[in-house]
Amino acid sequence: MNKKPFVTKEQIEEIAKTYPTPFHLYDEKGIRENAKRVKEAFSWNPGFREYFAIKATPNPFLVDILREYGCGCDCSSETELMLCDAIGAKGEEIMFSSNDTPEEEYALAAKLGAIINLDDITHIDFVEQILGKLPETMSCRYNPGGVFTLSNGIMDNPGDSKYGMTTEQIFEAYRILKSKGVKRFGIHAFLASNTVTNEYYPQLAKQLFELAVKLEKETGADIAFINLSGGVGIPYRPDQEPNDILAIGEGVRKVYEEVLVPAGMGDIAIYTEMGRFMMGPYGALVTKAVHEKHIYKEYIGVDACAANLMRPAMYGAYHHITVLGKENAPCDHIYDVAGSLCENNDKFAIDRNLPKIDMGDYLFIHDAGAHGFSMGYNYNGRLRSAEILLQEDGTAKLIRRAETPKDYFATFDCFDFYKNLKFEK
């Protein structure tokens, strides 16, 4: 089975005349169509909002596309908050869910009017000391512990996760927050990552809805929203069945009707934070074959490396590769596709069946639209690539320039030796 790229070889050849490879390319049409589907899937809930996880793809041009469909911003750091402020996101458009949080970041979140989602019960006093008075709306992150399972087996292990409060702590946190003047409450939980099953959100929702009923009954807190966070994944492998967001939305609606409505809590808003699902399939890393090596294995060297997409090197993640122009050619060669870092794990594919690759061929590395560019780094002095938007009319728009050596050395500009660096003009 194969995945179909959202761009042709001819289009890439044209783009590369202006923006040399490697670069990250995003599909505006796909992003918009997916955002519409998500909005439709939860349209039964009047207060629904998708808070796009900025960490997945921190590019203001892409975030602004999602904002056209009512999406907010999920932030977890000062710079992410600054990005949102710069594009005009304000107030409850922003969800601030962080952990081990410095005081200046809580202060900025409060200044922007963001909803603060507390990761730990000790942060209640911490935030109160910083702000003087707690905001009227606050959320708490829940961790039930143990192992999270679905019908197809163990999905993840919340008990080993550093995030969230225990069941006992969240009840106590609500009581404390209520006593300190908080009037509107939220519940947040993230129990499994990158699930490719329509069961995950409905089962998580059921757990959180039942918790909400108990919390409201025992603490008297007014629960305004329940945030299902992320975890809805994408099919990185071509033989995986993708999630059906309409079925997922309907599954959450059924549980909502079963649990919350009978308890008189049918006005609760549902929030999500689906960075990977919103952007992952609609971005790719485009790179060119520049070397071939024939030793104990067959290697294709490309002009990208793990600095541009580190998921395969970091934890062996699979990303499908299409050799543009050879989509229908037989995959009768076995290659390791490698980058230039002085690390043996700098490989985009290991023992991958691909068509014969010739020097100059363009490789389209799929599903790099989330946690792709954003996880980049500068090891070996390698520089991060440009980001380009393939617009709906087929034209290419630069939405982040490639790094230059001047960017790499910028933090030395306060030292004398910086004057000796010779940058091309």
**pLDDT, tens digit, 9 for 90 and up, residues 163-183:** 899 999 999 999 999 999 999
Q: What domains are defined for the chain?
A: 27-279 (3.20.20.10), 281-412 (2.40.37.10)
Reply yes or no on whether the pLDDT at 158 is more than 80: no
Reply yes or no on whether the pLDDT at 151 is more than 80: no
Whether 84 is catalytic is no
What's the chain's average pLDDT? 95
The pLDDT value recorded for residue 18 is 97
Reply yes or no on whether the pLDDT at 371 is more than 80: yes
Q: Which of 305, 331, 342, 414 is catalytic?
A: 342
* 3-class state of residue 23 by DSSP: strand
Reply yes or no on whether the pLDDT at 282 is more than 70: yes
pLDDT tens string 126-142: 999 999 999 999 999 99
Long-range contacts at 59-65 (CB < 8 A, ≥ 24 apart):
59/373, 59/387, 59/399, 59/400, 60/86, 60/87, 61/389, 61/397, 61/399, 62/26, 62/31, 62/279, 62/389, 62/399, 63/87, 65/28, 65/31, 65/32, 65/35
Reply yes or no on whether the pLDDT at 156 is more than 70: no
Residue 389 neighbours by CB under 8 Å, 6+ apart = 25, 26, 28, 61, 62, 396, 397, 398, 399
Closest to 77 (Cα-Cα) out of 60, 52, 95: 95
Longest dimension (CA), the chain: 72
pLDDT tens string 93-121: 999 998 999 999 999 999 999 999 999 99
Q: Which residue in the block uniquely carries the two structure tokens 């008189």?
A: 264
Please report which confidence band the pLDDT of residue 419 belongs to, taking 50, 70 and 90 as the band edges: very high
Please report which confidence band the pLDDT of residue 150 belongs to, taking 50, 70 and 90 as the band edges: low
Mean pLDDT for the stretch of residues 184-191:
94
Mean pLDDT for the stretch of residues 394-400:
97
The pLDDT value recorded for residue 193 is 85
The pLDDT value recorded for residue 190 is 87
Mean pLDDT for the stretch of residues 84-90:
96
